[in-house]
Structure formats: structure tokens, C-alpha cells
Amino acid sequence: MALIEAHSLGKAYGTTRAVNDLSFTVRPGSVTGFLGPNGSGKSTTMRLMLGLDRGEGTTTFDGVPFQQLDHPMRHVGALLEAKPFHPTRRARNHLRMLAVSNGIGDRRVDEVLALVGLESVARGRPGKFSLGMGQRLGIACALLGDPHTLILDEPSNGLDPQGIQWLRSLLQHLAKEGRSVFVSSHLLQEMSVLADELVVIGRGTMLANGPVQDFIQHSGLGSVEVRTPDGALLQPRLAALGAEVTTSDGTLVVRGVSAEQVGDEAHAAGARVHQLVTRQATLEEAFLEATGLSEEFRGGAS
Ligand SMILES: Nc1ncnc2c1ncn2[C@@H]1O[C@H](COP(=O)(O)OP(=O)(O)OP(=O)(O)O)[C@@H](O)[C@H]1O
């Protein structure tokens, strides 16, 4: 078991509410993606979960708050935005220091260095590491205690495409082993293939929480595209059902009704259908729709 339960998390900076009454659970065996626009409160939420910021609410790991865990690194592995590496302390020594203070043996240090692909630079100094190498060292720290729970803030930052694919397989593998993985990312395409569940926030407030597929389907942005020479027969029937219908190149683009309903109406109207395609919204489209009104920082039109 490795259940994370966050209850009524909240945090204000002066008069700004960065996080507002957030409650969610991260189930063992799943990757839960944490999405929100810039400045929506993701990093603050993760710090609150780990007791690194003072605020409202509680987070428990199998029922126990982070501060009350014996050897916390063995229970919860965390990667936060600010990397606390000493720039001149060699990577392996940094890991060894962490290991000793958490009762973890040297063998595990070498294991995690190999796991993140940093064996060849184990004696290198993080100050000279690229962004991606620093990120891999951060992931090694998070994995050091072989924890059953991971909280990772933008772990794919600075990773190249191979690195992102590697990280995806690693996190999915760890989740399959029964661990809980809570991970934030701005890479929505990546999140759509990585995550099972989502927590989506805007301006510190919960916008959606549940399976990725539900979030995409509820967006209302999916459509059914019908290629028909008899659009004039079909269109009014679909409109009468409440569908939103637009035409493009002899194809009706229908929103708000299912493919079955479109097929049935075409049959009833005697309209010939040459092609009928269901097009699902992308996670990016669903995310933009859900967070559109809650963006903290919005660029002007170019
Ligand atoms: N130390 C701080 N002092 C004052 N305000 C802060 C502090 N840290 C964060 N904030 C504010 O709290 C809000 C949430 O910030 P946070 O960094 O948690 O967002 P985020 O979702 O992680 O953003 P990003 O995606 O850009 O990393 C923002 O309005 C930010 O300006």
C-alpha cells in the first residue's frame, strides 16, 4: 500500500491565495498527473504535501504525515524544482551522504546511479552537469530509499526525447509495482500517455480530478465527422437533438451527440453516409478548455 491522501490543502502568500482547499488521493499502482497553468499552485501544493511550506490541510502517506515518517526517504521520494545539490560535491558523494542519514547502504547508491544512467559521471560535480543530468541526479535522490511513493515536480524538465521516454517507462514500471506516483508536467502529450489519473488545478483551485479518459471525454470538444452528400437532410435533425453542427468540405462536424445518434438519425432521414469518424479531443484541447478562464499569466494576442 502507498496511498497518498491530501485533505483541504491551502496556502496564502500575503493576500494571494496560491492553493485553495485542495483534496485528492493518489492511489497505489497508478501514475497521477498534476496539471495546471503557470503559477496555478502546483509546486506550492507539492511543498505543502511534504510539510516544507506552512499552510492549511493535511497530507498523509498510508495514514502518516511526512514529518512523522521514520526514515522518510524510504517511504516518499521527492523531486522539487529547487535542486539542493552542492555544486562541487561529487554526485556519488551527494547520494552517499543522503543514504547514510537514512540508513541506506552504499550498494543502493550505485544501483540508482545506474538506474538513471549517470554511472559514467558518478565522480562528476553537479555544478558542471547539464540540466538533464542534474534532473537525473534529482531522480536518483528520489529513488534512493526505494520508496513506495514518489512526488515529482516537472521531472522531465531538461530531458531530451530519449530521456523523456526513459522516464515514462521508469515511472510506469514503478507504478505497476504498486507504488503511487504523483507527477507534475507541462508536457501534455507526454502526460496523456504517462498518467492514469489527473488532478487539474487553476488558480490554486481544483478543476478536475479523475481518470485521464474521463477528463478528455467530458471536455465536450470531441466531434463526430460525417461525410455525406445528403447533409441538408441530416443537419436539421441533428440540430433538433441539440447538436452543434458545422460544415467543412462536404463534411458535417457534429458536437454534442454520439456517433450512434448521428448514425441513427442518418438512417431515419434516409441520408447516405460515405464516412463517419469519431474524433476525440486531445488532452491539450481539454486542458486549455478547462483552464482557459483560470490562467494566472496570459500572454497578449500577437
Ligand atoms: N515564496 C513565494 N512568495 C510569494 N508568492 C509565491 C511564492 N511562491 C509561489 N508564490 C505564488 O504562488 C502562486 C503559485 O505558485 P507555484 O510556484 O506553486 O505555481 P506552479 O503551478 O508550480 O507554477 P509553474 O507551473 O510556473 O511552476 C503564484 O501566484 C506564485 O507567484
How far, in Å, from the CA of 32 to the mean position of ligand 1? 21
Lowest mean pLDDT segment, chosen from 3-7, 109-113, 136-140, 279-283:
279-283
pLDDT attached to residue 301 = 54
How far, in Å, from the CA of 18 to the mean position of ligand 1? 7
How far, in Å, from the CA of 41 to the mean position of ligand 1? 6
Q: Give the Cα separation of 263 and 15 in Å (integer).
A: 54
Other C-beta atoms lying within 10 Å of the C-beta of residue 222: 19
| CA-based nearest residue to 81, from 175, 151, 178, 11 | 151
pLDDT above 90: residue 272? yes
| Span 273-299, pLDDT tens digits | 999 999 888 899 889 888 886 565 566
| Span 179-222, pLDDT tens digits | 999 999 988 989 999 999 999 999 999 999 999 999 988 877 78
- The single-letter code of the amino acid at 229 is P
Q: Give me the residues paired with residue 76 across strands.
A: 149
pLDDT attached to residue 124 = 82
Q: Are 257 and 238 in contact (CB under 8 A)?
A: yes
Other C-beta atoms lying within 10 Å of the C-beta of residue 301: 4
| Average of per-residue pLDDT values in the chain | 91
pLDDT above 70: residue 135? yes
pLDDT above 60: residue 92? yes
| Span 9-34, pLDDT tens digits | 999 999 999 999 999 999 999 999 99
Lowest mean pLDDT segment, chosen from 37-51, 120-134, 236-250:
120-134
How far, in Å, from the CA of 29 to the mean position of ligand 1? 29
Ramachandran sector of residue 179 (left: φ over 0; alpha: ψ -120 to 50; beta: rest): beta
Q: Give the Cα separation of 128 and 131 in Å (integer).
A: 10
Q: Whose CA is nearest to atom 6 of ligand 1?
A: 13
Q: Are 181 and 174 in contact (CB under 8 A)?
A: yes
pLDDT above 80: residue 168? yes
What's the distance, Cα to Cα, between the start and end of the chain in Å?
Answer: 50
- The single-letter code of the amino acid at 25 is T
What are the Cα distances from residue 187, in Å, to 56, 103, 184?
29, 36, 9
> Which of 16, 34, 153, 199 should be mutated for ligand 1, with most atoms under 8 A from CB?
16
Q: Whose CA is nearest to atom 2 of ligand 1?
A: 13
pLDDT above 70: residue 232? yes
Q: Residue 192 CA to chain centroid, in angstroms?
A: 8
pLDDT attached to residue 212 = 94
- Alpha helices (runs of H) in the chain, residue ranges in sequence order: 42-49, 91-101, 106-115, 131-143, 161-176, 188-194, 212-217, 231-240, 259-269, 283-291
What are the Cα distances from residue 16, in Å, to 79, 81, 133?
25, 21, 35
Q: Give the Cα separation of 281 and 105 in Å (integer).
A: 48
Residue 243, C-beta contacts closer than 8 angstroms, at least 6 positions apart: 254, 255, 256, 257, 261, 262
Other C-beta atoms lying within 10 Å of the C-beta of residue 120: 8
Residue 108 dihedral angles phi and psi, to the nearest 5°: -65, -30
> Which of 20, 35, 42 should be mutated for ligand 1, with most atoms under 8 A from CB?
42
Structure-block grid coordinates of residue 105: 547502504
> Which of 17, 34, 40, 45 should be mutated for ligand 1, with most atoms under 8 A from CB?
40
pLDDT attached to residue 95 = 92
What CA dihedral angle connects 92, 97, 100 and 104, to 10 degrees? -40
> Which of 16, 44, 295 should be mutated for ligand 1, with most atoms under 8 A from CB?
44
How far, in Å, from the CA of 77 to the mean position of ligand 1? 22
pLDDT attached to residue 196 = 96
- Classify residue 72 by its DSSP letter: G
With cell 562528476, the residue in question is 124
Domain with CATH 3.30.70 in the chain: 223-279
How far, in Å, from the CA of 234 to the mean position of ligand 1? 50
Average pLDDT over residues 222-226: 92
Q: Give the Cα separation of 153 and 176 in Å (integer).
A: 20
Structure-block grid coordinates of residue 84: 539542493
- Element of type H or E holding 11: strand 4-13
Q: Whose CA is nearest to atom 4 of ligand 1?
A: 13
| Residue ranges lining ligand 1, Cβ < 6 Å | 13, 16, 18, 36, 38-44, 296
Fold of the 4-217 domain: Rossmann fold (3.40.50)
Model pTM?
A: 0.86
Domain with CATH 3.40.50.300 in the chain: 4-217
Structure-block grid coordinates of residue 187: 508536457
How far, in Å, from the CA of 102 to the mean position of ligand 1? 30
pLDDT above 80: residue 159? yes
Q: Whose CA is nearest to atom 29 of ligand 1?
A: 39
How far, in Å, from the CA of 91 to the mean position of ligand 1? 29
Fold of the 223-279 domain: Alpha-Beta Plaits (3.30.70)
How far, in Å, from the CA of 49 to the mean position of ligand 1? 15
pLDDT attached to residue 222 = 84
Q: Whose CA is nearest to atom 30 of ligand 1?
A: 39
**Sorting pLDDT into bands at 50, 70 and 90, what band is 126?**
confident
In the chain, how many H helices and how many E strands? Answer: 10, 13
